[in-house]
Structure 1
């Protein structure tokens, strides 16, 4: 099922200010919170959908990529989309404060349990050629990440009993108010190390080099950031792994230039070929093709090869290849070449700026060079 537009999910316009986006998300989060709607199976889906929309639109960089490339610009095909409930409740501190949810603050929580600590993200740069960008590619890379060391075992945190939070009840005139803070023993993970082998520190993590396969969709662009969920550093205490963030760097092609989803090529032809017409081979991202240069082609004309450009990231077909024709004028001539051109210039009825429809001119050119 196709994802809905994030602006529609939150009910805001594409020009909405950050405060407006935050306010809209807060309203939806309260309305569809699973603890408030235990008998509505669709509430949690709407709750997650709103959280995913806010996670993108509240981030300036991600919002810009989404506005330009749509859902592929922020998901990138690097793994399953969507957010886990742990991710959602970890983002709640930005909206509702340390408690993580309005229901934690006023109702003592709703059985959501631990806000599991998340490991740190890893960032890498990946250089791609124009051909790889045009067709998509698969890369194998080595990544050094923190993982749980072999032999490490965990147990439930004795301080928070595995919830990751320490709650405090305060009696007020309005009744009991419950506040929650992150457990200082397990740092929100809900677990602590039970045993560890020699040489492993208190985090239970150790660096390890792993070989990962990254699938790059066709149509990515320079500066775009893709992500692989769960391929970052692991968290202490068996928390949620971070993500691997992949920054795309486009290697400039020496022959073909990119213009959005179009590919641009500068073709240089002699003035004789431009006047008489010819056929020439030109490079494309799919290999060489032969094109026709019509008689009388002017410098600056743009020829178009339909569908020879780059695939659209969102699946809307392919761009074109645009061929910019440049009529080349020789800068150094032999004596014989100079004499030939002088004879042509002095020929009867020769017009140095002929109308392109003057077929007689091209016939005279052919007779001159052939005879």
Structure 2
């Protein structure tokens, strides 16, 4: 799997370019969107998880280069049906002289590579994971939702209610899928292990591929008699209203995670998570600039020349400001503490400012009297 190709970026792409490409692809393939593609969406997320992490990206680049350019395995070595679930991945690559998978002299290529990271990174591709990191069998699927957030909620934070339809644990059978009073039997397909093995041939030899058992969906158990309320699935669809806390200062494209608010797990397994992709709505008066709020204020030429007092809208209501005589077009007036509350560059939290940018409105045309007055003014200014 080529992560760079999945995100449609060059191998030299910067972190900003990776982030932009991820947002574009995630929006394109989001499963909740019409025409979305869940499989490609997962690939996009997997690619981003690796390439957005400098250490994992470095290991991926090194491993990918070695994999593509390494050629045939060295003398006497080879994968030979090695079961990665039972051995240590790094020891396998650093095997004894004469029995190394890549030959004796090639061991030096790998001395600076963290094979534990590579194992974790590529484990899913071959159906296995590093020891101790295997996901819980039957865990519920995650839910991804696009959430529109108003400019005010972004500036000040707030609570937002959302309604989602999702799987919840069946209340009749407590999510087990079995009729009340009947047991769960051992799955005959996987013998209660929740997994099945499959040998897969490859360029390097045979891999032992371990996948979740389809018969019991990885739980290792099947109901002797199915619950009539959920038909043995242990789940029922239900609409739920959730109250989400929107933190002040959140940015467009960021993701809020709500642990355990995803789809119900299988037969008592933990639920998935809910991921809220923030879509910041625009405002007709204000524009966000970091944690500052920009407001462009129209001002008459005479008020700019003579000065005046006026009111301007802010995120918290009206505010009075003083226009000094001789104010220039484009001049900025800063209202302290009336911006967006969020994280500052020093690690703390503070409110930004509102910037009032003066936009002097010139008259479209002058009558004779006005023209004469302007001419007299021009003479005085000379």
TM over 0.5: yes
- Judging changes above 3 Å, is the alpha-carbon distance between structure 1 residues 349 and 100 closer, same or farther for their aligned structure 2 residues? closer
Question: Does the 8 A contact of 1:274 with 1:294 survive in 2?
Answer: yes
- Judging changes above 3 Å, is the alpha-carbon distance between structure 1 residues 191 and 348 closer, same or farther for their aligned structure 2 residues? closer
Question: Does the 8 A contact of 2:296 with 2:357 survive in 1?
Answer: yes
Q: Which of 340, 347, 352 matches 1:319? A: 352
Matches within 5 A, 1:205-354: 205-313=235-343, 315-333=348-366, 335=367, 338-346=368-376, 349-351=379-381
Structure 1 Cα separation of the partners of residues 291 and 138 of structure 2: 41
Structure 1 Cα separation of the partners of residues 369 and 52 of structure 2: 70
Give 1:137 deviation, angstroms.
0.8
Give 1:231 deviation, angstroms.
0.9
Structure 1 Cα separation of the partners of residues 352 and 246 of structure 2: 18
Q: What's the counterpart of residue 59 of structure 2?
A: 20
Q: What's the counterpart of residue 128 of structure 1?
A: 149
The superposition leaves residues 137-162 of structure 1 with CA deviations (integer Å, 9 ceiling, x where unpaired) of: 11122211111223223536345565
Q: Does 1:185 align with 2:215?
A: yes
Unmatched 5+ stretches in structure 1: 1-11, 32-53, 59-88, 104-109, 169-176, 355-371
Q: Does 1:100 align with 2:129?
A: yes
Structure 2 Cα separation of the partners of residues 274 and 219 of structure 1: 34
Q: Does 1:139 align with 2:160?
A: yes
Give 1:116 deviation, angstroms.
1.6
Give 1:303 deviation, angstroms.
1.5
Give 1:203 deviation, angstroms.
2.1
Give 1:15 deviation, angstroms.
5.0
- Judging changes above 3 Å, is the alpha-carbon distance between structure 1 residues 13 and 261 closer, same or farther for their aligned structure 2 residues? same
Unmatched 5+ stretches in structure 2: 1-50, 64-87, 91-116, 179-183, 199-206
Structure 1 Cα separation of the partners of residues 156 and 60 of structure 2: 36
Structure 2 Cα separation of the partners of residues 125 and 218 of structure 1: 18
Question: Does the 8 A contact of 1:227 with 1:246 survive in 2?
Answer: yes
Q: What's the counterpart of residue 36 of structure 1?
A: none
Give 1:341 deviation, angstroms.
3.9
- Judging changes above 3 Å, is the alpha-carbon distance between structure 1 residues 194 and 240 closer, same or farther for their aligned structure 2 residues? farther
Give 1:219 deviation, angstroms.
0.8
Q: What's the counterpart of residue 69 of structure 2?
A: none
Structure 2 Cα separation of the partners of residues 182 and 257 of structure 1: 49
Corresponding residue pairs, total: 266
Question: Does the 8 A contact of 2:172 with 2:229 survive in 1?
Answer: no
Give 1:340 deviation, angstroms.
3.8
Structure 1 Cα separation of the partners of residues 300 and 268 of structure 2: 69
Q: What's the counterpart of residue 204 of structure 1?
A: 234
- Judging changes above 3 Å, is the alpha-carbon distance between structure 1 residues 18 and 194 closer, same or farther for their aligned structure 2 residues? farther
* TM-score relative to the length of structure 1: 0.60
- Judging changes above 3 Å, is the alpha-carbon distance between structure 1 residues 340 and 117 closer, same or farther for their aligned structure 2 residues? same
Q: What's the counterpart of residue 44 of structure 1?
A: none
Give 1:241 deviation, angstroms.
1.3
